[in-house]
C-alpha cells in the first residue's frame, strides 16, 4: 500500500465541553491512568523537543517520572545534548503519543531543574543497574563501539562493587512548567476533538477546529 493511501477511522470516543475539567492536569492524570491501564508498551513515554544551540530543533523519547500541578518531570544527564539546549533556551515542548487510544497530549512551557534533594530521592529508588548506567554513559558523546561501551559499564560495576551508588553530580531531573496544554481525541471522518488550555493568571480553555 502506498503511504498516501493509508488511512483509518478514529473511533475510540470524543471529548465534549461539558466533561472538560477547569484544570488541565485533572484530565491529563486521568488519561495517563488510562494509558497505563490499556497496557501500552511505554505509557509514560513522551517526546521532548528542544532548540539546540545551533538553532536546530531536535526531539527525543524520554520517560515521564513525575507529574503534578507544578509540571512534568523527567531525568537525564546534565551534560547531554538536550541539557545543553535547555541551558541556552529553556523553552520546550512535550508530546504524549497515545496512538492506541486515539489520543495525543502536547505541552509547551519553560523547563527548570528540580532540586538536588528531589533528584537524590529518585536516583536512590532506581534499580542498581540503572544507577550504574548513569555513571557509565557520557551521554551524547561519540564512542568507538558497543564493546567499548560495555567495557565502560564493566569498569563502573567494579568501581562500585560492594558499595552504594550515589547520584552522579551530572545527572538529575528537569521539570517542564506548562503554559499551554492541548488534548487531542481522534474522531470519525476526521472530525477530531481538540481542546487547548492556556495559562494567563489561571487556566483558560477553548475548543479548536480539527
For the annotated catalytic residues, the residue numbers are 190
Closest CA to 173 of 101, 86, 58: 86
Closest CA to 85 of 59, 61, 65: 59
Q: At what angle do helices 146-159 and 128-136 cross, to 10 degrees?
A: 120
Partnered with residue 46 across adjacent β-strands are 62
| Length of the chain counted residue by residue | 210
Q: Are 120 and 167 in contact (CB under 8 A)?
A: yes
* Three-state secondary-structure class, residue 160: coil
CA 173 from centre of chain: 11
DSSP 10: -
Residues 6+ apart with CB under 8 A from 152: 136, 137, 143
Ranges of H-type helices in the chain: 24-37, 81-88, 116-125, 128-136, 146-159
* Three-state secondary-structure class, residue 202: coil
Amino acid at each position: 500500500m502506498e503511504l498516501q493511501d493509508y488511512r483509518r477511522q478514529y473511533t475510540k470516543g470524543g471529548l465534549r465541553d461539558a466533561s472538560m475539567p477547569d484544570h488541565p492536569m485533572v484530565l491529563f492524570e486521568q488519561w495517563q491512568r488510562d494509558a497505563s491501564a490499556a497496557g501500552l508498551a511505554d505509557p509514560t513515554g513522551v517526546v521532548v523537543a528542544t532548540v539546540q544551540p545551533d538553532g536546530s530543533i531536535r526531539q527525543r523519547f524520554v520517560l515521564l517520572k513525575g507529574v503534578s500541578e507544578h509540571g512534568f518531570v523527567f531525568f537525564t544527564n546534565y551534560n547531554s545534548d538536550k541539557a545543553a539546549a535547555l541551558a541556552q533556551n529553556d523553552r520546550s515542548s512535550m508530546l504524549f503519543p497515545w496512538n492506541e487510544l486515539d489520543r495525543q497530549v502536547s505541552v509547551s512551557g519553560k523547563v527548570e531543574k528540580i532540586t538536588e534533594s528531589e533528584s537524590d530521592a529518585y536516583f536512590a529508588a532506581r534499580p542498581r543497574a540503572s544507577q550504574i548506567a548513569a555513571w557509565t554513559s557520557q551521554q551524547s558523546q561519540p564512542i568507538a563501539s558497543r564493546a567499548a561501551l560495555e567495557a565502560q559499564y564493566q569498569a563502573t560495576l567494579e568501581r562500585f562493587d560492594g558499595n552504594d551508588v550515589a547520584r552522579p553530580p551530572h545527572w538529575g531531573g528537569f521539570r517542564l512548567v506548562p503554559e499551554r496544554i492541548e488534548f487531542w481525541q481522534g474522531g470519525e471522518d476526521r472530525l477530531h476533538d481538540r481542546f487547548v488550555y492556556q495559562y494567563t493568571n489561571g487556566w483558560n480553555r477553548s475548543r479548536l477546529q480539527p
